[in-house]
A and B are shown apart, each in its own frame.
Chain A
Amino acid sequence: MKQLELVQNTFQDDKIIDACSIFGIMDTIGTRFSGEDIVKAMALMHMRSNGLGGGFAIYGIYPEYAEQYAFHIMYTCQQGRDETELFLKNNFNVIYHEEIPTRQTAGITDPPSVWRYFLDVKDNGKVSEDDYIVSRIMEINTTIPDSFVFSSGKNMGVFKGVGYPEDIANYFCLDKYQGYLWTSHGRFPTNTRGWWGGTHPFSILDWTVVHNGEISSYGINRRYLEQFGYECTMQTDTEVIAYAIDLLVRKHHLPMNIVAKILAAPLWSSLERYPAEEQILLKTLRQVYGSLLLNGPFAVIIANTNEMIGLTDRIKLRPMIAATKENKLYLSSEESAIRLISPELDKVWYPAGGELVVGNLRHPPGKTLPESVGAQLIC
């Protein structure tokens, strides 16, 4: 399974055009639950994908290795695995590794082998651990053939491949895992037969993105990010969202509500409705980060250890609906998928274009919550 696009495309600018179903559930007090519900919800939206890609991100999945970076790596040949494992051995302390268990599933053909590694950083030198991890991932993805890092965060994991989401879930035995935050994606690409690495969720460190849409500004978003050392290797416009968030949140230390104002910037004409000081802030954000404005139709669910975030383009050309039931926040392409698994909801609403929906864990999972602090939901 050679990636022909990487070899033949001198400009390295292929993007995969696709439409999709997306779904996310988060328990905002951190209680873990199984994937049964999300798989049902995704199966209901079967029509929104075409069997060329499905995937899940699960947070809170590896409490026994919560302090280690959990790498999920896909191999398409034995040599790639040998080289990568040598590379990992040289750069990390491998605490534990195993092949991810799978079961035979009709509809999943020609799967690569997927392994997981729990890693401690040996010596990150002068750079931060996170930067060190990102550079090593870029190195594996661009220099070691037939190897690809699916996910790399702590106590989280991404499972994805070519197939319908419910088939992927069955293939990776997701019924056996528990997490407090699940996101999922069903894909309908319109060009190439997808390769396993190019499916969603796309992930870097503990950030994951599932995305429905096409980013018309991809060309410039990508060129902008390249200035900051991000190499877009996955031929999908979704990765620019993940890298943009990584840059803005992790490197530029901007809070998520500010990041939303960059990715889906308010219209110039609407600025005058903001208070004077905020006008200056919003204007400056757009002047400086205009090249990161995501243009074109999109709805995304972005997640990390503490948050699940929904965002659409500023004129909402792709659907997203949000709902809450007790401690749970749901985000979905279709309301029916939410109603299927939770017929009674406390609140259901259609976020406006460019409006952020955030589900936030007050405390990281695994720590006891003081009684007075419940889930915080900024809507």
Chain B
Amino acid sequence: MKSYLAPKFIIERDTERCINCKVCVNQCSFDSHYYDADDDKVKSRIGKCVGCHRCVLFCPTQALTVRENPLDYRANYNWSPEVIEDITKQAESGGVVLTGMGNDKSQRIYWDHLLLNASQVTNPSIDPLREPMELTTYLGRKPDKIDIDKQDPQSIKLKTELAPQVKLDVPVMFSAMSYGAVSINVHKSLARAAVEMGTLWNTGEGGLHPDLYKYGNNTIVQVASGRFGVQPSYLNIARVVEIKIGQGAKPGIGGHLPGEKVTAEVSSTRMIPHGTDALSPAPQHDIYSIEDLSQLIHALKEATNYTKPISVKIAAVHNSAAIASGMVRAGADIIVLDGFRGATGAAPKIIRENVGIPIELALASVDTRLRQEGIRNQASLVISGGIRNSGDVIKAIALGADAVNIGTAALVALGCRVCQQCHTGKCAWGICTSDLFLSKRLNPDIGARRAANLLRGWSHEIKDMLGGMGINAIESLRGNRLHLRGIDLTDTELEVLGVRMAGN
């Protein structure tokens, strides 16, 4: 069948600069470049390029330019080029349109409508270069009060024993991304960066490669609907065990890692046969209700001898607040909310773009609800889904989060260009692929340095902003919505966010 899809990008090759070195041919995993032996020339194909910039950045003579194909349609707000092309794809394939990364549509990004406070005159701002500035955060269940033994006033004894707590030096962790979806070198990079920066990384649902057990103290391991790689040593090596109910990019549906991605290493890590499809069912088939969740939480606490906080991750959906309250009462020590901008290795485009709610609103309503019920202290609240910079992080904390997870931002630090081809398994940057030839491209030493640098930069920025507000400890900002003001928001939006209008 002739395809009616026009090329997305055009590649321009400056023949004056090109030295026919074939770097682009070797680097492109989408077959955009080839060597024409007859002409003894490197040439480009039209129609293959996905705009990942790998060739552009690795061309030693800067001979390549990639630009969007300026294909003009008759203007139509309803029938945009994207809509037409999706229909065309389905007419040619009869399938579900797949995509990678997070929702790229123009729904309101609330972070950009929230502004932070700073001290002037009545209150000194604090310079983090000269004064202590504390970002230390402990995740885990906290009691309502502590009891002490006052018999001897000279030596006060603590009677309360806290549930397991996890210390974060910076309130930013790496999101769950499974081995198989991302390459082993991504796991290595993030694990090492987490160790260096005193934070946690997350295995995702694809198990933990034996080489990475040594990073266990900085690792969150996931137990998801496919139960891949779940075994006693996996649970016990971790710092936190996370039950994955859903993710923001595709709430309510499962996952499917195609058999060709299940290499020998992936197979042994996930504990499934080599080359078979790894199917994650949409629900966990032992959790059909909240009491079932409670049972799994306690089963995992038993299995780990009550030494680790149990986290539960859900996608942000309409009634997240009520669900979160149930989760806390079911025994979750950490709640992870993943907003509709959350990314994925592969999801039906229609789901990614239409299901779930913005994380800012979900966070605000969950935090408010847990406080109304007086149980906010019983679980830590972690959010994720489209966090782009330290400004988003600090606003999330002011809205009520204990910490945030970053996925896409961490991958961008490793080289990702957000070309949204994760589902193809051909990532030219060696990130979202299990192809050994491609995944070698990510050097975990360099990757760890880049990811750690990102967190280092963000923590400097967070300290600056905190100091500006006259605050020297992150817990004094957590849930402190008085330090936020909204702009361009309706009264209802302000009410849900619990934030006042700027100038008010």
Q: Which residues of A contact B480 (CB under 8 A)?
A: 217-220, 223
The residue on A at minimum CB distance from B482 is: A219
Q: Which of B131, B470, B500 contacts A296 (CB 8 A)?
A: B470
- Are A223 and B142 in contact, CB atoms less than 8 angstroms apart? no
- Are A268 and B131 in contact, CB atoms less than 8 angstroms apart? no
Q: Complex: how many Å from CA A253 to CA B140?
A: 24
Known contacts A255-B156, A269-B132, A295-B473; is-contact A284 B162 (Cβ 8 Å): yes
- Are B158 and A284 in contact, CB atoms less than 8 angstroms apart? yes
Q: Complex: how many Å from CA A185 to CA B473?
A: 28
Q: Which residues of B contact A293 (CB under 8 A)?
A: 473, 475-476
- Are A296 and B156 in contact, CB atoms less than 8 angstroms apart? no
- Are B131 and A255 in contact, CB atoms less than 8 angstroms apart? no
| Interface range, B side | 35 or more
Q: Is A77 positioned at the interface, with any CB of B under 8 Å from its CB?
A: no
In the assembled complex, how far is the CB of residue A233 from the closest CB belonging to chain B, in whole angstroms?
16
Q: Which residues of B contact A315 (CB under 8 A)?
A: 126, 131-132, 472
- Are B156 and A226 in contact, CB atoms less than 8 angstroms apart? no
Q: Which residues of A contact B472 (CB under 8 A)?
A: 295, 314-315
Q: Is B34 positioned at the interface, with any CB of A under 8 Å from its CB?
A: no
- Are A285 and B132 in contact, CB atoms less than 8 angstroms apart? no
Q: Could you mark each residue 208-247 of chain A with 1 if its beta carbon is under 8 Å from any beta carbon of chain B, else 0?
A: 0000011011111001101110000000000000000000
Q: Complex: how many Å from CA A265 to CA B134?
A: 11
Known contacts A220-B476, A287-B165; is-contact A15 B156 (Cβ 8 Å): no
- Are B482 and A218 in contact, CB atoms less than 8 angstroms apart? yes
Q: Which of A10, A214, A287 contacts B162 (CB 8 A)?
A: A287
Q: Complex: how many Å from CA A295 to CA B147?
A: 24
Known contacts A267-B134, A296-B123, A315-B126; is-contact A219 B481 (Cβ 8 Å): yes
The residue on A at minimum CB distance from B367 is: A223
- Are B500 and A11 in contact, CB atoms less than 8 angstroms apart? yes
Q: Which residues of A contact B470 (CB under 8 A)?
A: 214, 216, 295-297
Specify the main secondary structure of chain B where it touches its partner: loop
- Are A220 and B478 in contact, CB atoms less than 8 angstroms apart? yes
Q: Is B74 positioned at the interface, with any CB of A under 8 Å from its CB?
A: no
Q: Complex: how many Å from CA A258 to CA B146?
A: 11
Q: Is B143 positioned at the interface, with any CB of A under 8 Å from its CB?
A: yes
Q: Could you mark each residue 373-405 of chain B with 1 if its beta carbon is under 8 Å from any beta carbon of chain A, else 0?
A: 010110000000000000000000000000000
Known contacts A17-B122, A17-B123; is-contact A288 B162 (Cβ 8 Å): yes
In the assembled complex, how far is the CB of residue A338 from the closest CB belonging to chain B, in whole angstroms?
25
Q: Which of A252, A288, A294 contacts B142 (CB 8 A)?
A: A288
- Are A227 and B376 in contact, CB atoms less than 8 angstroms apart? yes
Q: Which of B132, B473, B498 contacts A11 (CB 8 A)?
A: B498
Q: Complex: how many Å from CA A224 to CA B119?
A: 23
Known contacts A217-B476, A293-B476; is-contact A284 B482 (Cβ 8 Å): no
Q: Is A341 positioned at the interface, with any CB of B under 8 Å from its CB?
A: no
Q: Is B145 positioned at the interface, with any CB of A under 8 Å from its CB?
A: yes
The residue on B at minimum CB distance from A217 is: B476
Q: Could you mark each residue 275-299 of chain A with 1 if its beta carbon is under 8 Å from any beta carbon of chain B, else 0?
A: 0010011001111111101111100
Q: Complex: how many Å from CA A286 to CA B137?
A: 10
Q: Is B479 positioned at the interface, with any CB of A under 8 Å from its CB?
A: yes
- Are B156 and A281 in contact, CB atoms less than 8 angstroms apart? yes
Q: Complex: how many Å from CA A197 to CA B173?
A: 46
Q: Complex: how many Å from CA A317 to CA B467?
A: 13
Q: Complex: how many Å from CA A133 to CA B216?
A: 53
Q: Complex: how many Å from CA A258 to CA B159?
A: 14
- Are B132 and A255 in contact, CB atoms less than 8 angstroms apart? no
Q: Could you mark each residue 15-37 of chain A with 1 if its beta carbon is under 8 Å from any beta carbon of chain B, else 0?
A: 10111000000000000000000
Known contacts A190-B122, A227-B371, A297-B470; is-contact A13 B148 (Cβ 8 Å): no
In the assembled complex, how far is the CB of residue B244 from the closest CB belonging to chain A, in whole angstroms?
26
Known contacts A297-B124, A317-B124; is-contact A287 B142 (Cβ 8 Å): yes
Q: Is A254 positioned at the interface, with any CB of B under 8 Å from its CB?
A: yes
Q: Complex: how many Å from CA A48 to CA B444?
A: 59
- Are B471 and A217 in contact, CB atoms less than 8 angstroms apart? yes
Q: Could you mark each residue 270-300 of chain B with 1 if its beta carbon is under 8 Å from any beta carbon of chain A, else 0?
A: 0000000000000000000000000000000
Q: Which residues of B contact A294 (CB under 8 A)?
A: 476
- Could you tell me which residues of chain B, from 118 to 177, have a CB within 8 Å of some CB in chain A? 119, 121-124, 126, 131-132, 134, 136, 138, 140, 142-143, 145-148, 150, 153, 155-158, 160, 162, 165
Q: Which residues of A contact B377 (CB under 8 A)?
A: 227, 288, 291
Q: Which of A226, A252, A286 contacts B145 (CB 8 A)?
A: A252
- Could you tell me which residues of chain A, from 288 to 333, have a CB within 8 Å of some CB in chain B? 288-291, 293-297, 314-315, 317
Q: Complex: how many Å from CA A217 to CA B479?
A: 10
- Are A220 and B132 in contact, CB atoms less than 8 angstroms apart? no
Q: Is B477 positioned at the interface, with any CB of A under 8 Å from its CB?
A: yes
- Are B158 and A216 in contact, CB atoms less than 8 angstroms apart? no
Q: Is B483 positioned at the interface, with any CB of A under 8 Å from its CB?
A: yes
- Could you tell me which residues of chain B, from 91 to 133, have a CB within 8 Å of some CB in chain A? 119, 121-124, 126, 131-132
- Are A288 and B132 in contact, CB atoms less than 8 angstroms apart? no
In the assembled complex, how far is the CB of residue B66 from the closest CB belonging to chain A, in whole angstroms?
47
Q: Could you mark each residue 459-503 of chain B with 1 if its beta carbon is under 8 Å from any beta carbon of chain A, else 0?
A: 000000000011111011111111100000000000100101000
Q: Which residues of B contact A223 (CB under 8 A)?
A: 371, 479-480
Q: Complex: how many Å from CA A190 to CA B121?
A: 10
Q: Complex: how many Å from CA A329 to CA B125?
A: 32
Q: Complex: how many Å from CA A120 to CA B122?
A: 43
In the assembled complex, how far is the CB of residue A237 from the closest CB belonging to chain B, in whole angstroms?
10
The residue on B at minimum CB distance from A11 is: B500
- Are B471 and A296 in contact, CB atoms less than 8 angstroms apart? yes
Q: Which residues of A contact B481 (CB under 8 A)?
A: 219
Q: Complex: how many Å from CA A210 to CA B479?
A: 26
Most buried by B among A265, A277, A290: A290
Known contacts A219-B481, A291-B475, A293-B473; is-contact A285 B123 (Cβ 8 Å): no
Q: Complex: how many Å from CA A219 to CA B498?
A: 11
In the assembled complex, how far is the CB of residue B328 from the closest CB belonging to chain A, in whole angstroms?
13
- Could you tell me which residues of chain A, from 327 to 356, have a CB within 8 Å of some CB in chain B? none
Q: Which residues of A contact B158 (CB under 8 A)?
A: 277, 280-281, 284
List 11 A-B pairs, Cβ < 8 Å: A190-B122, A216-B469, A217-B480, A218-B482, A226-B371, A227-B371, A258-B148, A267-B134, A284-B146, A287-B162, A295-B476
Which 7 pairs across A and B sit closest by C-beta, in order of nearness? Answer: A219-B482, A217-B476, A295-B476, A219-B480, A290-B475, A220-B480, A252-B145
Q: A214-B470, A295-B472 are in contact. List 20 more A-B contacts (CB 8 A).
A: A11-B498, A190-B121, A216-B470, A219-B481, A219-B482, A219-B483, A227-B374, A252-B146, A253-B147, A255-B156, A267-B134, A268-B136, A269-B132, A277-B157, A285-B146, A288-B142, A294-B476, A297-B470, A314-B472, A317-B124
Q: Which residue numbers of B lie inside 8 Å of A, CB to CB?
A: 119, 121-124, 126, 131-132, 134, 136, 138, 140, 142-143, 145-148, 150, 153, 155-158, 160, 162, 165, 371, 374, 376-377, 469-473, 475-483, 495, 498, 500
Q: Which residue numbers of A lie inside 8 Å of B, CB to CB?
A: 10-11, 13, 15, 17-19, 190, 213-214, 216-220, 223-224, 226-228, 251-255, 258, 265, 267-269, 277, 280-281, 284-291, 293-297, 314-315, 317
